[in-house]
A = this chain, B = another copy of it.
Amino acid sequence: MKLHSFFRSSAAYRVRIALAVKGLAYETVAHHLRKEEQRRPEYRALNPQALVPTLEDGGHVLTQSLAIIEYLEEAYPETPRLLPADPAGRAVVRAMSQAIACDIHPLNNLRVLAYMKSAMGQSQEATDVWYRHWIGEGFAALEELAKRNSRGSSHCFGDAVTMADACLVPQMYNARRFQTDLAPYPTLVAISDSLERLPPFAAASPEGQPDAE
């Protein structure tokens, strides 16, 4: 497998965690987002959205981090599962994942921040406030969901690693990078701190990537 990635992309980081938890080997193809390498025609042919990650698995070209994780779950059923067995539990894990992947992260993407600076004349400070605002909105809801579903464990849901954990840790990394006040989210911080110490999460961290700066 080939993973088109950027060390700091939190969507790519989610997939790296999933691959590591499942013990699936892959080669990294790095695309430097600040240098807009993901906009090259060769990459756009693979992924018309010109976003990372993209996973190549044999002849299949997979895009969108959560779709890739669901694919790994279905195509490699013998590997550790990232979704619980029952439909209602799976729905909660997916909803927690999407609360990050739909309602926090896309608002804080590099292309969005760039648009607000160039087309809307916003300062670095204003976009930093925006960045933290959407983390705050999302984390406030996730804190409540984690309290309900982690049942005192060190995971977002139940007592095993799920797709929601693969979404939380990269979002927490971004929150810290932008100096977000994390005091209101003790459950999320405790879960993330514990997860970050697990070997698959450590292996997937931005600093551990071949293209890390």
Task: Enumerate chain A interface residues (CB-CB to B < 8 A).
Answer: 48-51, 60, 62-64, 66-68, 70-71, 74-75, 87-88, 90-92, 94-95, 97-99, 101-103, 105-107, 111-112, 115-116, 119-120, 122, 126, 129-130, 133, 137-138, 140-142, 144-145
18 residue pairs A–B, Cβ–Cβ below 8 Å = A48-B141, A49-B99, A49-B138, A49-B141, A62-B88, A62-B95, A66-B94, A66-B98, A67-B94, A70-B91, A98-B102, A102-B105, A111-B137, A115-B133, A116-B120, A119-B129, A120-B120, A120-B130
Beta-carbon contact of B120 and A64 below 8 Å: no
Beta-carbon contact of A126 and B120 below 8 Å: yes
Beta-carbon contact of A91 and B120 below 8 Å: no
Beta-carbon contact of A71 and B98 below 8 Å: no
- With a CB–CB cut-off of 8 A, which chain B residues contact A98? 64, 66-67, 101-102
Beta-carbon contact of A64 and B99 below 8 Å: yes
- With a CB–CB cut-off of 8 A, which chain B residues contact A62? 88, 91, 95
- With a CB–CB cut-off of 8 A, which chain B residues contact A102? 64, 66, 98, 101-102, 105-106
Task: Report the minimum CB–CB distance from A105 to chain B (whole Å).
Answer: 8
How distant is the Cα of A194 from the Cα of B95 in the complex, in angstroms? 30
Beta-carbon contact of A144 and B94 below 8 Å: no
Closest residue to A54 on the B side, CB-wise? B95
- Sorted from nearest, which 10 A-B pairs have the closest CB atoms? A67-B94, A74-B87, A64-B95, A71-B91, A48-B141, A48-B144, A49-B141, A64-B98, A67-B95, A75-B87
How distant is the Cα of A158 from the Cα of B62 in the complex, in angstroms? 17
Beta-carbon contact of A60 and B74 below 8 Å: no
Task: Report the minimum CB–CB distance from A102 to chain B (whole Å).
Answer: 5
Beta-carbon contact of B48 and A60 below 8 Å: no
- For A71, give its contact among B70, B87, B145 (CB under 8 Å): B87
